[in-house]
């Protein structure tokens, strides 16, 4: 049987799971193998796609690459408020969206020039909260049923004392 390398992560996962799986297996079968809680109500996202996939499709049907990144979350969309210098930017995104895309959208919305943008980072929940890195999926910072988060655009020099 032909197999495909996969990386599985999602809401309430302690760590990234990886392995190899037969391409004829469905996404549901993959979730069952890893005892993913709430599998029926979980949305599944592939790679950097913003729309979720049909969990009854096989790994071969949903992705033709040698490997596949799978992200699971019970929130299909996440309501984000980005705060920067007494201004707010509201957006609704897929729980699969990466930090670098949210940062790019915020920089554009706040009309921050490139020379200043390199000095800024995104943090979750408060101005001193955890940093949202470029490849972090926003869903890792949100738990169902509260499908929303406050994000702050702050100076990278902002240190916690």
Tell me if 3-73 shares its fold with 77-155.
Answer: yes
Neighbouring C-alpha atoms within 13 Å toward the C-beta of 19: 10
| Predicted local distance difference test score (pLDDT) of residue 159 | 54
**Percent of the chain with pLDDT strictly greater than 90:** 65
Q: Name the residue ranges covered by the structural domains of the chain.
A: 3-73, 77-155
Q: What is the mean pLDDT of residues 44-50?
A: 91
Q: Is the pTM of this model over 0.85?
A: yes
d(CA 112, CA 90): 17
Residue range 90-141, pLDDT digits in tens: 999 999 999 999 999 999 999 999 999 999 999 999 989 999 999 999 999 9
Q: How far is Cα of residue 17 from the mean position of the Cα atoms in its chain?
A: 15
Fold of 3-73: Ubiquitin-like (UB roll) (3.10.20)
C-alpha 119: how far from its chain's center? 23
| Topology of the domain covering 77-155 | Ubiquitin-like (UB roll) (3.10.20)
| Across 71-80, average pLDDT | 96
């Amino acid at each position: 049987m032909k197999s495909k390398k996969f990386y599985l992560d999602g809401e309430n996962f302690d760590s990234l799971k990886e392995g190899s799986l037969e391409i004829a297996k469905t996404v549901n079968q993959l979730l069952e193998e890893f005892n993913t809680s709430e599998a029926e109500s979980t949305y599944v996202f592939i790679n950097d796609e913003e729309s979720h996939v049909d969990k009854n499709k096989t790994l071969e049907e949903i992705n033709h690459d040698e490997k596949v990144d799978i992200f699971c979350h019970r929130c299909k969309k996440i309501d984000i408020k980005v705060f920067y210098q007494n201004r707010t930017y509201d957006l609704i995104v897929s729980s699969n969206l990466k930090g670098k895309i949210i940062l790019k959208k915020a920089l554009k919305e706040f009309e921050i020039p490139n020379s200043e943008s390199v000095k800024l980072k995104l943090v979750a929940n408060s101005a001193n909260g955890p940093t949202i890195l470029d490849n972090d999926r926003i869903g890792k910072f949100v738990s169902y049923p509260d499908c929303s988060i406050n994000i702050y655009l702050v100076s990278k020099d902002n240190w916690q004392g």
